[in-house]
Structure formats: C-alpha cells, structure tokens
Structure 1
Amino acid sequence: MMAKGERKRALKGRAGRMKGGRGSGRASTGSVRLWGRHAVEAALKNPARQHRKLWATREGIGSLDGELPADFPVEYADAADLARLVARDAPHQGLVLECAALEDVFLDEVMDGDAARPLVVLDQVTDPHNVGAILRSAAAFGAAAIVTQDRHAPPESGVVAKSASGALEVVPWVRVVNLSRALEEMAEAGYWRIGLTGHAEATLAEALPTGPVALVLGAEGAGMRLNIEAHCDALAKLPITRAVESLNVSNAAAIALYAVATRPI
C-alpha cells in the first residue's frame, strides 16, 4: 500500500510476523515500542531494525514519508486504542511500532579518531527525555556516538525515541559495563577527554584541543562522579551568567557540541 503516492521512496526494514493479540499493550521480550511520526518513520527507514507490527490510524499512515511493503503487518485502530498501547498521555500521532531493540554497538567500532566527530559520554544521566534530547543534538552536530554505563542509563524506549526525534536510529549508542575503563580506552585511541562541570576554572573554549574529543557530562545536581572526573584530561565550564545556577544537561550537551563543531581544526 502507498502512504503518500507513487513517487515516495520505500520505507525500508524487515517486517516480521504478527505477534500478540490486538490491544494486548505488551511487547514481547526484547521488543521496543516506539510512537510518534518522527520516531516511527526513522525506525521504519532503518534497515538495522527488525519490525514486528505497526498499529496506526489511517491519518497516521498518511503522514509517513514513504511506502510500507505490501506484506507489512499493520493493524488499523483509532486514537483511543493506540493510547492504550503507550505511556499515559504519550503523543503517538496515530502511529505505534513494535520492533526489536537495536543490536549492541561496541566502543572500538565508533572511535574513528575523526576530530570533527566527538564522543559524548554520559555519567549517570538517567532521564530518558534528556538522553533523547542529547541524541538529537549528537545527530545535529555529527557526533560519532553517545556512551553510557549500562547500570546508570535508561533503556532504549519509546520515550527516548520520541525525545530523540529520529536520532536514535542514526547515532550509535554504546553501553559499557565500566565507564572509567571506557574513558581509558578513549585516551589510548587518542581522544582528549573533557569533563563539563561548573566548578572548573577554564571555559570549554579554552580547554578544547584541535584533535579528537570526548565530552563527558554528569547528571544534573550530582554531576560527574569523582572517579569519572579523575579520568578526564581536563575539566571545563560553560561561561553562563550568575542568573542561573546551571543548565539542563541536554542543553549543556548541545552547546558543547556546537563549540566542538565550530572550533578551528
């Protein structure tokens, strides 16, 4: 079936067989449920995704930029039915997609040493909205990946995907067991590790080198753990005024990524 005419490009990806009954509201083990046009459309176009089922309103299908394969498992429903499949008050925009979680990405796969493609390291940033927003900024400024510690980061989810507005599908997300060891590996690969913290003396502009960079950000309030700070080559702050105590971590990440993108290399 066509979503928006014959000239639209095909929505790619492997469509799986239908699983589960209508309105079950539960994804099978290893599944992720995504919602909202940007998140769903990006997932459908991602050949690395294994798609299992799409619940949609006809208006939702019509909003997609592309066509679904003829045998794609789609179940039409009204907006109220779709609301039962997602978190309360989630803005599903007439689209809910069940798919397999993305395959693991390993740190050595993303450390290409490109000075224009920084790594973004998140220490205990657990809010899925913040992680999603950071993914979106990482995509906008060409970051190579985000890196989190498995125990102190949110799982892949519809909330992360919606906040990322499609960036979950294009920015590698590396999950590591030991964040300190990961920072050591970054240093061995030639990355200059800069921890962002308000108590630093130098500004980020002063601390930025010309080579590959890993930006390290901690959770709001607690900030980076001392052991993570100790694994940074430099600490830096953003030059904000005293009118505010600090910035939201996703805002800080966006500003830091802009600073990396616009520095002389």
Structure 2
Amino acid sequence: MAKQERKRALRGRAGRMKGGRGSGRASAGHVRLWGRHPVEAALKNPARDHRKLWATREGIDSLDGELPPEFPVEYADAADLARLVAKDAPHQGLVLECLPLDDVFLADVATGDPARPVVVLDQVTDPHNVGAILRSAAAFGAAAILTQDRHAPPESGVVAKSASGALETVPWVRVVNLARALDELAEAGYWRIGMTGEAEATLAEAMPKGALAIVLGAEGEGLRANVAGHCDALARLPISSSIESLNVSNAAAIALYAAATRT
C-alpha cells in the first residue's frame, strides 16, 4: 500500500475524543507513550500490546504505517492531548497507551557476539539518560542494556521519547543483582570494562577484540565498589582536564562508537 493510502486508512479509523480530559497518567499496569518516533515504533512493534491511541489529525497524518483493523483511535486537539501526558511533554499530536514490554532474560541476548556489546548501567536513574543510552545502543548495534531493577527508571513516556524509538528495538534486561549478572556475562565470554575517570588505562588500551560489556555508573556517584570489583578492567575516556566528567549518556555513546570501530 502506498504511503498516502496508508495515511488515509489511518485517518479513516479515527473517532473523536470524548470530552478531551485525561489525568496525565496511564491506567494501572499500562504505559503511556507520546511523540511521533516513540509511538510509531511502538505501533510497528509486534511485541507490544496496544490499547488506545489519541491523536490530532496532523499526528495521524505524520505516521508511516497502517494500524491493525478496528484499532481504537480517537481524534483530539493538542490541548486535550496535553492533559494525557506529563506537563509540557512534546506529544506531537500522538499519545499511545499500551502494556509494558515483556521481561527480557540475559541469557537470551548475551550471545557473545563481539560486534554487539552489552551496556550495563549501575544505578543510572535519570529516564532521559537511560533513553539516550538506548538510542545510542540502537545506533551502534548493542545487544542490550542491563540495569538493576530497583535502581533504574521504569518504562515510561519520558524514556521512550528520549530513546526516539529505540525502546522498541533494544532489549532492556532488568536484574535483581547486578554483580551476579556481571558474573553471568563473564561466563558467557564477555570482557567487562568499568568506565571510571580514575582509571589509569584509556578505553582504547583496555578494549578487547572479543565480546564486550561496557559498565557505566551514575553521574556523581560513579561505579559502586562492588560493581567495579566485578569488572575485568577499569578504563577512562581521554577527555581534557578542563572538564571533570561527561554526562553518562555521552560517555556511553563514545564507548559504543569505540567498540564499533575497534580493529
């Protein structure tokens, strides 16, 4: 079906939003996503259980793809949609309510492929940073990101918007014990590099040729001692002494680029 025909099909299924009111929060057990890239990626993800889409006519027109038959869509104006999302969230005329993605298990994604590193996040709790790291992980072909369940943000519209669609394509593994998960990565053949500004070796010097796990800590706190102790090597980025550190999402992007271009 041509793109214009798909757009007509989308518009033809849309109803009218009743009342234009919303709490700004998803229903219990659901996730509310907003913005063209996150919503379009979620709609195209067969692993997503979608419940309802609210949209402006312009938002529907911006989508590239066809909704399933009888998909629940309601038209709304921009002010109505603003009531369905976080304050000042850039919804771009699209708000989707859906179920969270199913759990992903480390053994299913840690295949030992040298071209697909695993990104491990130690208590990185800012949803914007996690979303940006997901986006970089997608760009550089990472196998997954790995977080500790209690010290990471939940799946949310903020994460999805920052990830710009990557939430739907990069597996997100949540574990109870991060140190134990690092041991499992070692058993699967991964060389675990903890990123810290205090390390003597640079990332290029510590980089292996085989399977790699890049371990990053939260801004300010950095890697916890127990997590650093479960790494095979510690490394730093060779940044100028005029700045103390990089944002963790920037550090992740640089490390993933270095892994993708190693020889």
TM-score (norm 1): 0.92
Matched, 1:138 2:145: no
Task: Report deviation, 1:27.
Answer: 2.1
CA distance in 1: counterparts of 2:2 and 2:92, whole angstroms: 15
Task: Report deviation, 1:23.
Answer: 2.4
CA distance in 1: counterparts of 2:46 and 2:126, whole angstroms: 27
Matched, 1:155 2:154: yes
CA distance in 1: counterparts of 2:153 and 2:142, whole angstroms: 20
Amino acid in structure 2 at the alignment position of 1:195: G
CA contact under 8 A between 1:3 and 1:63: conserved in structure 2?
no
2:240 aligns with 241
Alignment of structure 1 residues 198-209 onto 2, 5 Å: 198-209=197-208
Matched, 1:167 2:193: no
CA contact under 8 A between 2:6 and 2:66: conserved in structure 1?
no
Percent sequence identity over aligned pairs: 81
Task: Report deviation, 1:92.
Answer: 0.2
Amino acid in structure 2 at the alignment position of 1:23: R
1:126 aligns with 125
Matched, 1:23 2:21: yes
CA distance in 1: counterparts of 2:46 and 2:149, whole angstroms: 25
CA distance in 1: counterparts of 2:19 and 2:215, whole angstroms: 44
1:261 aligns with 260
CA contact under 8 A between 2:34 and 2:90: conserved in structure 1?
yes
Superposed CA offset, 1:126-149 (max 9, x none): 000000000000000000000000
Task: Report deviation, 1:30.
Answer: 1.7
Task: Report deviation, 1:7.
Answer: 6.3
Superposed CA offset, 1:6-49 (max 9, x none): 267x99xxxxxxxx996243422220000000000000000000
- Aligned pairs, number: 254
CA distance in 2: counterparts of 1:43 and 1:69, whole angstroms: 13
2:76 aligns with 77
Runs of 4+ in 1 over 6 A off after TM superposition: none
Amino acid in structure 1 at the alignment position of 2:59: G
- Kindly indicate which of the two structures has a greater share of residues assigned to helix: 2
Superposed CA offset, 1:80-103 (max 9, x none): 000000000000000000000000
Superposed CA offset, 1:202-241 (max 9, x none): 0000000100000000000000100000000000000000
2:180 aligns with 181
CA contact under 8 A between 1:110 and 1:144: conserved in structure 2?
yes
Unaligned 5+ runs, structure 2: 11-17
CA distance in 2: counterparts of 1:254 and 1:132, whole angstroms: 12
CA contact under 8 A between 1:37 and 1:64: conserved in structure 2?
yes
Unaligned 5+ runs, structure 1: 12-19
TM-score (norm 2): 0.93
CA contact under 8 A between 1:3 and 1:61: conserved in structure 2?
no
Q: Match of 1:108, SS?
A: helix
